[in-house]
Amino acid sequence: MGDSVALEAREISKAYGPVRANVQVNLRLNAGEVHALLGENGAGKSTLSKILYGFARPDSGEVLAGGRAVNLRSPRDARALGVGMVFQNFMLIPAFSVAENIALFLTDLSPIVFTSRVEDRIRRLAQRFGLRVDPRSPVRQLSVGDQQKVEILKLLLANARVLILDEPTKVLAPHEVEELFRVFAALKAEGFAILFITHKLREVIACADRITVMRQGRVAGESLRGEADARALITMMFGEQGVGAPAVAQGPRGSGLSGQELFELDGAASHAVGSETKLHGINLRVRAGEIVGVAGVSGSGQRELGDLILGLRPLAAGRKLLRGIDVSRWSVGRMRESGVAFVPEDCAGMAAMPGMSVRENLVLGTGRRYWKGVSVDWKSLQARMDESFRALEFPFPGPHMPAGSLSGGNLQRVVVAREMAHDPKLVIALYPTRGLDVRSAISVRDLLRRVRDSQSGVLLISEDLEELAEMSDRLLVMYGGALVGEFNRGEWSSEQVGHLMTGSSEAAGAR
């Protein structure tokens, strides 16, 4: 472990309007060390990292690099000091090759670009630190794990000595996470400083030399490797009355396995255009009173599956059956009217019209039910929606409020109330808790369980294995557009599923 302080935050404070994102935060990042910044969503980790990278200016306090106070006016300044950041949303250009993406970020790129030279540099570095990717391949063809490697290579080639990674393991399967930690070890050994932001306890305990825990904008505690255990860290993260981190253990089981068959896909396949994933040979069943989870990484076809079931995407082969009726050719409208509801991740983007009022959004999602003559029966709509909101214990925002002025959580509640208003028989939930804070996520999961308990069926498409473990009565795994695994509750491990999700055969083992 190195002693020199590579990067330091001293008494950093930052507020966004009334929200105090960082309050007098102190953090020291040493060379040759992996430092984990742990905290729940909204704890202030993102803000701090943005400040350290020059993306945001602190209201007070200072940033020191190599012991000297620095004024970071933009990421450019940070990069000049050898600080690099890997974001959750990669700053990669899908159409460019790996080499072109990296070349874009090189600070010493010659005016005339010789791609082969860049490729050689990439290969040498990749070798040194175990970041193997083909410099020539277009980035859009790479797996998420490989794309992350490209991001790291970008920083290394730009001579970064301090690497900040924001939730790097969120999109990785378990064995890819291990690979990433091996990369950290290699970098650490050569004196690099790594700051890695996460909310996953197990990873932190596995790989961090030093841990800083943040809660509600402040540093809630620090710890060294070996000193801390999960309970201590949880207490620091959540305070004394801590809401426990979602348990890995599996949640209460539903009654579903003997329920009536609600929905079936029989040999379903679909076409794909461009970067979409082609589905083939999908055999899937959802019964009343069960939650079927679908695990997969991006590119596995999860989204295409959800669209196929909803009717947005036509079947190229096979059949789709709703309570025994062949609905293969039904339009989205018809599917919805027959009781298929859809809860997406990004309501403003996928399920609501931000520019229109709440009541307009409500009626648009209910098909023809409230049509009256040339216009709409607003009264009946209001009455029915009032009921739905009440049953869910959600507050009803004013009907004329523009949907775009609601917060993300409130908008999702409106969408959910709308979807639940007519007792749907099948609920398709697509990454429903992505980006939500803990409380909202828990309430969404509770809702899905209630739907199941009222003898409807739920198809939960998610990339969060912990969530799937807690919720699924049965778990399906997708990879490359096909179903590669099916398990009942309690019969699977995350290691197993992780391998299936990433298409690596378990027998192949580590590289």
Partner 1 sequence: MNAPLAIGVIAGAVLSGTSLLYATLGETITERSGIVNLGLEGILLIGASVGFASAASSASAYLGVAAAALAGGAANLLFGWLVVSRKANQLASGLAMMFFGIGASALVGGPFVGAVITGLPKWRPSFLAGLRWVKSTTLFNYDILIWLAVPVALLVWWALFRTRWGLGVRAVGESAAAAFASGRNPAMIQYQALFAGGVLGGLAGAHLSLSLTLTWAEGMTAGRGFIAIALVIFSKWHPLRAIAGALVFGGAEALQLQLQARGADVSPFLLDMIPYVLTLLVLLAWGGARRLAAPAGLGRTFYGSE
Partner 2 sequence: MPGDRTTAGRRLPPAARAAARYGLITVIVLVVFGAILLAAGKNPLKAYADTFVYALANAYGFSELLVRLTPILLTAVAVAIPARLGLINVGGEGQLYMGAWLATAGALALPHLPAWVLLPVVTLLGFSGGALWAAIPGILRARKLVNETIATLLLNYVAPLIVSFFIFGPWRSPESSAYPQSPAFSDAARLPSFFNTRIHAGLLIAFAALALYWFLMEKTRWGLQMRAIGGNQEASQRLGIPVATWIVVALAIGGGIAGLAGMGEVSGIHGRLRQGLSPGYGFTGFLISWIAGGRPLGILLMAFLFAVITSAGDILQITQGLPYSVINILLALLLFVVLARRPAQRGAR
Residue ranges binding partner 2 (CB under 8 A)? 310, 312, 331-337, 342, 344, 349-356, 360, 363-365, 367, 371, 374-376, 402, 404-405
Strands 68-70, 457-462: pairing kind = unpaired
Considering only residues 133 to 162 of the shown chain, the ones binding partner 1 according to CB under 8 A are none
Residue 314 binding partner 1, by CB under 8 A = no
Residue 405 binds which entry of partner 2, partner 1, none, with Cβ cut-offs from 5 to 8 Å by kind? partner 2
Q: How far is the CB of 472 from partner 2 (least distance, A)?
A: 24
Strands 193-198, 162-166: pairing kind = parallel
Burial 470-484 (b: 16+ CB within 10 A, else e): bbbbbbbbbbebbbb
Residue partners of 100: CB distance under 8 A and separation at least 6: 93, 115
Q: How far is the CB of 306 from partner 2 (least distance, A)?
A: 10
Q: Do 304 and 486 contact (CB within 8 A), yes or no?
A: no
Kindly state the helix (H) or strand (E) to which residue 210 belongs, with its residue range: strand 210-215
Residue 100 binds which entry of partner 2, partner 1, none, with Cβ cut-offs from 5 to 8 Å by kind? partner 1
Q: How many CB atoms are located within 10 Å of the residue 241 CB?
A: 6
Residue 16 binds which entry of partner 1, partner 2, none, with Cβ cut-offs from 5 to 8 Å by kind? none
Shorter beta-carbon distance to partner 2: residue 219 or 428: 428
Residue 111 binds which entry of partner 1, partner 2, none, with Cβ cut-offs from 5 to 8 Å by kind? partner 1
Sheet containing 279-287, strands listed edge to edge, beginning at the edge strand earlier in sequence: 279-287, 261-270, 317-322, 325-326
Q: Degrees (nearest 5) of the Cα angle 55, 61, 63?
A: 55
Shorter beta-carbon distance to partner 1: residue 316 or 438: 316
Shorter beta-carbon distance to partner 2: residue 154 or 313: 313
Q: How far is the CB of 11 from partner 1 (least distance, A)?
A: 21
Considering only residues 39 to 58 of the shown chain, the ones binding partner 1 according to CB under 8 A are 50, 55-56
- CA–CA separation, 427 and 248 (whole Å): 24
Shorter beta-carbon distance to partner 1: residue 274 or 373: 274
Considering only residues 220 to 279 of the shown chain, the ones binding partner 1 according to CB under 8 A are 273-275
List the one residue out of 424, 415, 430, 428 whose CA is nearest residue 362: 415
Residue partners of 446: CB distance under 8 A and separation at least 6: none
For 176, counting Cβ atoms within 10 Å of its Cβ (0-12 exposed, 13-18 middle, 19+ buried), the class is buried
Amino acid 399 reads P
Residue partners of 503: CB distance under 8 A and separation at least 6: 479, 480, 484
Q: How far is the CB of 375 from partner 2 (least distance, A)?
A: 6
Task: Give Cα 261 to chain centroid, integer Å.
Answer: 31
Q: How far is the CB of 422 from partner 2 (least distance, A)?
A: 13
Shorter beta-carbon distance to partner 1: residue 94 or 324: 94
Size of the site for partner 1 (CB under 8 A): 25
Residue partners of 4: CB distance under 8 A and separation at least 6: 30, 31, 66, 67
Among 15, 64, 70, 113, binds partner 1 (CB under 8 A): 113
Q: How far is the CB of 77 from partner 1 (least distance, A)?
A: 10
Q: How far is the CB of 271 from partner 2 (least distance, A)?
A: 14
Q: How far is the CB of 450 from partner 2 (least distance, A)?
A: 23
Shorter beta-carbon distance to partner 1: residue 275 or 375: 275
Residue 113 binds which entry of partner 1, partner 2, none, with Cβ cut-offs from 5 to 8 Å by kind? partner 1
Residue 70 binding partner 1, by CB under 8 A = no
Residue 355 binds which entry of partner 2, partner 1, none, with Cβ cut-offs from 5 to 8 Å by kind? partner 2
Q: Do 41 and 202 contact (CB within 8 A), yes or no?
A: no
Please report, in angstroms and rounded to a whole number, the separation of the first and last CA atoms in the chain. 26
Q: How far is the CB of 111 from partner 1 (least distance, A)?
A: 5
The number of C-alpha atoms within 13 Å of 112 and in the hemisphere containing its C-beta is: 0
Give, as one character, the DSSP assignment of residue 453: H
Residue 248 binds which entry of partner 2, partner 1, none, with Cβ cut-offs from 5 to 8 Å by kind? none
Among 4, 60, 107, 159, binds partner 1 (CB under 8 A): 107
Shorter beta-carbon distance to partner 1: residue 116 or 493: 116
Q: Do 174 and 495 contact (CB within 8 A), yes or no?
A: yes
Shorter beta-carbon distance to partner 1: residue 106 or 234: 106
Q: How far is the CB of 229 from partner 1 (least distance, A)?
A: 38
What is the sign of the dihedral through the CA atoms of 410, 441, 242 and 452?
Answer: positive
Give, as one character, the DSSP assignment of residue 259: S
Residue numbers of the site for partner 1 (CB under 8 A)? 50, 55-56, 75-76, 79, 91-96, 100, 103-105, 107, 109-113, 273-275
